[in-house]
Amino acid sequence: MIATGRTVTVRVPATTANLGPGFDTLGLALALYDELTVTVRDQPGASVEVHGVGEGEVPTDETNLVVRSIAHTFAAYGQEMPGLDLVARNVIPHGRGLGSSGAAIASGVVAAQALLEGVVEIDGLGLLARATELEGHPDNVAPALFGGLTIAWTTPEGPRYKKLNVHRGVSPLVLVPGHTMSTALARSLQPESVPHADAIFNVSRSTLLIASLIQSPELLFEATEDKLHQSYRASAMPETDALIRALRAAGYPAVVSGAGPSILVLCSDPAQRKGATELVERTAATPWQSLVLAVDIKGATVVLHPDDVTQP
């Protein structure tokens, strides 16, 4: 039985997936955070109070994605979800390719893990499995849960991940437009098969990308080349495509962030990031918000009130 009044606060980072050639495999956690506080109450059901991004737009009842993630996790371990009051303080942009849905799911499963502590023990692979069941693929939820650079894959036994530490010189820049992009639409533009040469090209670039991110940032421009997904989606994101072309023509390693329409520039040092920011300010035909972000290394963190601190 979970005591009424038990409260947990979860902090989850934004993520950027694919990173160019690592389609549905590579993800990176960024230091931009949504925060969720969950309190157990006497009455059944759930209510959600939303502040910031999504306020007045996302559901505030049991249909909310965070609530559904908590309920899914409780059900997966044969537990009945208690009544809950949730307060969400959101900063991660919605519908921009920065993992907002993955962050919501991650915050829900981690909150459930914390609430169930002492009743059911859920390890990291359990969290990843529950989150992937909801998200459909692990490339965004893995870095949201564990931080850093993650390689995610699936096995008959469930999803797996490997977390890697990113070279301190890597300096991410995220460019966020005013419009959104549907992940479902972006995925619908992908062909069922790709040329053999393109597949080989991306295998070489994705392996080079891992080496570049953890050891050799000077190779990031070549390492972020892609032939599997970005060109197929370009027609649905003309402003994104145009700005990526302009950045890459000037030597900056720019890629689509997740399903877009945001752009990730994986700069090799802060000076290069400053140059990319100035290029966007000079040449972009439409407004873009520039976010100078660090790589998050912790992933989701939990505070068990009043003073116990844990991490998945």
* Known binding-site positions: 93-103
* Known binding-site positions for ATP: 93-103
State whether 110 and 156 are in the same domain. yes
State whether 141 and 211 are in the same domain. no
pLDDT band at 312, cuts 50/70/90? low
State whether 221 and 252 are in the same domain. yes
- Full domain range(s) for residue 141: 7-165+296-310
pLDDT of residue 186 exceeding 80, the answer is: no
Longest dimension (CA), the chain: 60
- Give me the mean pLDDT over the 87-111 stretch: 97
State whether 241 and 148 are in the same domain. no
* Residue percentage of the chain with pLDDT more than 90: 85
Residue type, 89: R
State whether 286 and 304 are in the same domain. no
State whether 157 and 304 are in the same domain. yes
Lowest mean pLDDT of 101-105, 270-274, 308-312, name the range.
308-312
- On whether the CB atoms of residues 256 and 97 are closer than 8 A, the answer is yes
- Give me the mean pLDDT over the 32-47 stretch: 97
pLDDT of residue 306: 72
pLDDT of residue 311: 54
pLDDT of residue 308 exceeding 70, the answer is: no
- 147-178 pLDDT, tens digit each: 999 999 999 999 999 999 999 999 999 999 99
Dist CA 309 CA 303 (whole Å): 5
- Sequence-distant (6+) residues with CB within 8 A of 283 are 246
- 261-290 pLDDT, tens digit each: 999 999 999 999 999 999 999 999 889 999
pLDDT band at 309, cuts 50/70/90? very low
Tell which residue, 174, 169, 183, has the closest CA to residue 244. Answer: 174
State whether 19 and 148 are in the same domain. yes
Dist CA 59 CA 49 (whole Å): 9
pLDDT of residue 233: 84
Report if residue 2 sits inside a domain: no
Domains in the chain, number: 2
State whether 13 and 32 are in the same domain. yes
State whether 158 and 303 are in the same domain. yes
* Tokens at 211, concatenated: 């080496």
pTM of the full predicted structure? 0.93
Q: What is the DSSP letter of 297?
A: S
pLDDT of residue 180: 86
State whether 115 and 229 are in the same domain. no
Report if residue 214 sits inside a domain: yes
